[in-house]
Structure 1
Amino acid sequence: MHGGWKAIRRWLYLIHRWMGIAGCVLIAMWFVSGVVMMYVAFPSLTEAERLAGLSPLVAAAPRVTPDTAMHSAGLDAFPRNLRFELAGDRPVYRIVDRRGRPHTIDATDGTRIEAVDADAARAIAQRFARAPAHWLDTTDRDQWTVPNGLNAWRPLHRIAIDDGHGTELYVSARTGEVMRDTQRAERFWNWLGSVPHWLYFTPIRKDPPLWRQVVMWTSGPCLVVAVTGIWIGILRLRVRRRFAHGSVGGMSPYHGWMAWHHVAGLAGALFLVFWLASGWLSVNPNQWFSGRGFDDAALQRYAGHAATTFPQPAWREVMTRVPDAREIRMAWVGGRALLLVSDGAGRTQTLDAVTGTPVVWQTAELTRAATTLLPKAAVTDSAIQHHDDAYWYRHHSPRTLPVLRVRFDDVAGTWAYIDPATGLVAGRSDDSRRTYRWLFHAVHSWDLNALLRHRPAWDIVMWLLSLIGTAMSVSGIVVGYRRLKRKAS
């Protein structure tokens, strides 16, 4: 038995020592890049930025009806998204069909726009940014457009904006939409933040299955390093029979960098294990956790209208009511046709499509409409939520507030979130997603409302934990380097 335990200890030390040399480099990188990500997100075009960049519609009522636009796009069902806006100075319908494919229809003659050349893209970007612009290149995918959500809009024209901030816009060569913006400082900090932290290098990230495997096979072994390190750390810790010449009051036999590694490793032991495990879960291995949204069939039932028809809007009434309108989205809720009119400040008014008058939803109306999302389940609770809670909060992601939360009695424990201003479904949650919230978000980002409501409490906690993790991993790098150096000599 004694010989078996000795062999186990030997393998324990060997695994931690040699896997830890590479693992500590990765762990140190993740902690440092994670601090950067606290303040600089991966580049994206926010909804507020997109609306601010669109030109005012003024009196640019389309000559083509929504029905004609849908017919020109070849749709067989009412689309996920149908909106009217200006592409530069050209009135267009933007459509995203039920398969997620984008279509752009000229609102003056109903023709399909299927290609946008470099000159047109430059003009669109210049009008969007309200600053001089010049075309740089056309790319299918680069470091800042690598996420697969842009696939249907590729290729993309990259346009430089002369604004003193090194801004670059990406305009779809298929539809003429501005899809992304980046700035010089944002790109710099992302090379120290999101790109290394998420392993978001273009050759890897462009292949989602490969990227998921890379994330799992880097974070997984690092988790083994952490667990073996905790085991060794506890074995080498003495509280009663202390080491005569040890450090930390004789509790640790080590000195110098090794002592730092021992103490920091034990101080942040549980945090490190949970943090690495949650990072492994970030890619949702084997699809253990459900998605965030309702499926297409549920959303069509909620809309109460599937045909490719929409009543001719009261354009003049709409333009008069919202003089700074930048976008008019057409939607159905419970069989009622709506216009969601957004201005340059991001404010949205919900109007009746036929009369152009404001729509005020009653909670009971929306709750009845929500029952169509899960027709085989009953509603157990319906309430307006005015503030962030553990499952619906705005840290690093936009969330509608107030929001109507409707709970169902189905096996999955589904909750629907509905925007009480527009009537549209804003999100979905179930037992699986709520479990994921605790296993990933809470453990990895510590986005607990008790901390978030009292900033900089969250920042202080995250900095402290990151410093402990960095001290543990950097000391491990130094110890590992010295051992390799001795081996080499």
Structure 2
Amino acid sequence: MMNKWLFRIHRWVGAVVGLFFLMWCLSGLVLVYHPFPNVDERDLQARMEPLPDSLPAVDSVAKRLPEGAAAKVRTVTVRRFQGQTLFDFETKDTTYTLCADSAEVRRPVTAETIRNVARRWVDAPIARIDTLHSRDQWIMYSRYLDEMPIAKCYFDDAAGHELYISIRTGEVLQFTDRSSRLWAYVGAIPHKFYLPILRRDNDVWIRSLTTGGVVALIAVLTGIIVGLIMLRRNRKARGKLGSPYKKAWLKAHHVTGLTFGLVLIGFAFSGAMALQRIPEWIIRTHGDYRVSDTKMRGKSLPLSAYTDYRAVRQLHPEVRQIVWNHFRDVPIYDVTTDTASFSLDASTPELHPLQLSPATVEKAISALHKDESFTVSQIDRYEEYYISRWTALPLPAYKVMVDNADRTRYYVDPATGNFRHLNRARMAKKWVFSGLHYFNIRWLVERPTLWTIAIWVACLGGAFVSFSGVWINLKRLRRKSKKRRA
């Protein structure tokens, strides 16, 4: 009786989810080479206006902040927009933007501003400009909601460029062309359920992805059990191991289903867990699940701790933007030029490239883990939990191992202060999602050819299992339809 129900569950659940699994496998292959379109940081850098030769002291600008606001400033940014030098003073609750010249008033973002920004991005006539008050297909992320309304510029060019600009700030938010949109329609959009109707509610989107993964997992698990039952029956009946099916499609589905079953379990399970934490009843987290940048870097430093920022302009005439940052008691300038981004140690007038010392990192970890012992070492090669298939992570880096129940570890880039934080739950999530879904495993990532072969074989094998299951069900429905008509 149990076997009969397993067959039925696999048949009907597989019939429903087969097309989705086929879509996931094929769109996943596309996604490897064509991610969801997004504005490139290098394009943003290249199109930023350069800072002028003449710049005021930051203290003189900070004096114009409302009373009491200067003491609450966390970050300062100096940039150029619409021919004006602007200082952004960011506090916990708001951002104050002031012109470098106290006699100037910040120019508002107008229709002409939008057109001027658009012309800097595409050398083609602007066909039209629409105003968006809600998400469309290419404005998927929640961070865009604060930027509404958004101007969408259509260009009359062969590539079909479309540019999204915040009407509030004039910032470019998204940039697509006809090719990137086409690849997204057959890759990222179906694979990640990137549909505006789902993305309007983040909880609904997460539940949809999780439910799809769970249903797919049920189809695969019941399929493997049914496949093994049929192997056992065949061995009992004929005394040999093999598929009992004579028909080509049934036999192919049976053999490939067992061959790629574990791969499909990995895809389905990791898909269901993509946006979920490892449950606390499986791996308990004693400390913070995530460590924010603010916690690691510590309280912001007073402006007096920084050497004169105008020395950056003298050292790098091509500078586009300077951000006041810090790592504990080390003042830092994060510098953006037209071609690069880097960090400078702002504690001395020489402005050396940032190189955090082990003692500085130890001070940060001591503040986060007051009563726990830890070790700091330097690594010069990638490790299993410090490697990425998509991004070349910086080396050398500091590796911090904390002796606690969470097995906490950090990887800190000494050249920027950026870091990665992991604990037992996050390390498990690396295997549950990134490892199973994208084969983001050091042994494979360090062998790109083998990684490519593995992902292609897995996706095409999974696609064939799904397609053959769908085809068998279609043939079964056709036979039943003929019988009813007869």
Bin of the TM-score, shorter chain as denominator length: 0.7 to 0.9
In the other structure, the counterpart of 1:53 is 47
Q: Check conservation: 2:78, 2:321, Cα contact below 8 A.
A: yes
The sequence identity of aligned pairs, in percent, is 25
1:237 aligns to what SS in structure 2? helix
Q: After the TM superposition, which residues 172-211 of structure 1 pair with which residues of structure 2 at under 5 Å, given as runs?
A: 172-211=166-205
The answer to whether structure 1 residue 268 and structure 2 residue 260 are counterparts is yes
Q: Check conservation: 2:45, 2:338, Cα contact below 8 A.
A: yes
Q: Check conservation: 1:45, 1:179, Cα contact below 8 A.
A: yes
Q: Distance in 2 between matches of 1:22 and 1:380?
A: 51
Q: Which amino acid aligns with 1:437?
A: K
Q: Distance in 2 between matches of 1:97 and 1:249?
A: 70
Task: Please state how far the C-alpha of 1:111 moved relative to its aligned partner.
Answer: 8.3
Report the TM-score when normalising by structure 2.
0.87
Of the three residues 431, 441, 447, the one matched with 1:448 is 441
RMSD: 3.2
Q: How many residues align?
A: 474
2:320 aligns to what SS in structure 1? strand
Q: Distance in 2 between matches of 1:164 and 1:390?
A: 44
In the other structure, the counterpart of 2:364 is 370
Q: After the TM superposition, which residues 114-125 of structure 1 pair with which residues of structure 2 at under 5 Å, given as runs?
A: 116-125=109-118
Q: Residue 262 and residue 102 in structure 1: after superposition, are their counterparts in 2 closer, same or farther (change >3 A)?
A: farther
Unaligned runs of 5+ in 2: none
Task: Please state how far the C-alpha of 1:236 moved relative to its aligned partner.
Answer: 1.1
Q: Distance in 1 between matches of 2:99 and 2:126?
A: 24
Q: Residue 15 and residue 468 in structure 1: after superposition, are their counterparts in 2 closer, same or farther (change >3 A)?
A: same
- CA deviation profile, 1:338-367 (whole Å, cap 9, x unmatched): 222222222414041673522553522322
- CA deviation profile, 1:444-479 (whole Å, cap 9, x unmatched): 111112222222211111000111101100001111
Deviates more, 1:87-96 or 1:290-299: 290-299
Report the TM-score when normalising by structure 1.
0.86
- CA deviation profile, 1:75-115 (whole Å, cap 9, x unmatched): 77333x5322222433223455546x666443434989696
Task: Please state how far the C-alpha of 1:227 moved relative to its aligned partner.
Answer: 0.8
In the other structure, the counterpart of 2:79 is 85
Q: Distance in 2 between matches of 1:219 and 1:276?
A: 5
Q: Check conservation: 1:219, 1:280, Cα contact below 8 A.
A: yes
Task: Please state how far the C-alpha of 1:285 moved relative to its aligned partner.
Answer: 5.2
Unaligned runs of 5+ in 1: 1-6
Q: Residue 70 and residue 399 in structure 1: after superposition, are their counterparts in 2 closer, same or farther (change >3 A)?
A: farther
Task: Please state how far the C-alpha of 1:371 moved relative to its aligned partner.
Answer: 2.5
Q: Distance in 2 between matches of 1:292 and 1:183?
A: 38
Q: Residue 77 and residue 416 in structure 1: after superposition, are their counterparts in 2 closer, same or farther (change >3 A)?
A: farther
Q: Distance in 2 between matches of 1:486 and 1:114?
A: 72
Q: Residue 312 and residue 446 in structure 1: after superposition, are their counterparts in 2 closer, same or farther (change >3 A)?
A: closer
In the other structure, the counterpart of 2:425 is 432
Q: Residue 73 and residue 232 in structure 1: after superposition, are their counterparts in 2 closer, same or farther (change >3 A)?
A: farther
Q: After the TM superposition, which residues 7-406 of structure 1 pair with which residues of structure 2 at under 5 Å, given as runs?
A: 7-59=1-53, 61-62=55-56, 65=59, 67-68=62-63, 71=66, 77-79=72-74, 81-94=75-88, 97-98=91-92, 104-109=97-102, 116-128=109-121, 136-139=129-132, 140-160=134-154, 164-237=158-231, 240-241=235-236, 251-284=243-276, 293-295=290-292, 298-299=295-296, 302-305=297-300, 309=303, 314-352=308-346, 355=349, 357-358=351-352, 360-397=354-391, 399-406=393-400
2:131 aligns to what SS in structure 1? strand
Q: Which amino acid aligns with 1:459?
A: T
Q: Distance in 2 between matches of 1:365 and 1:403?
A: 14
In the other structure, the counterpart of 1:457 is 450
- CA deviation profile, 1:116-152 (whole Å, cap 9, x unmatched): 3332122123335576656521223211111113333
In the other structure, the counterpart of 2:466 is 473
Q: Distance in 2 between matches of 1:379 and 1:429?
A: 16
2:390 aligns to what SS in structure 1? coil
Q: Which amino acid aligns with 2:229?
A: L
In the other structure, the counterpart of 1:4 is none
Q: Distance in 2 between matches of 1:117 and 1:109?
A: 22
- CA deviation profile, 1:4-29 (whole Å, cap 9, x unmatched): xxx21221111111111111011000
Q: Which amino acid aligns with 1:59?
A: D
Q: Residue 155 and residue 241 in structure 1: after superposition, are their counterparts in 2 closer, same or farther (change >3 A)?
A: same
Q: Distance in 2 between matches of 1:486 and 1:102?
A: 68
Q: Check conservation: 1:104, 1:114, Cα contact below 8 A.
A: no
Q: Check conservation: 1:103, 1:175, Cα contact below 8 A.
A: no
Q: Check conservation: 1:142, 1:202, Cα contact below 8 A.
A: yes
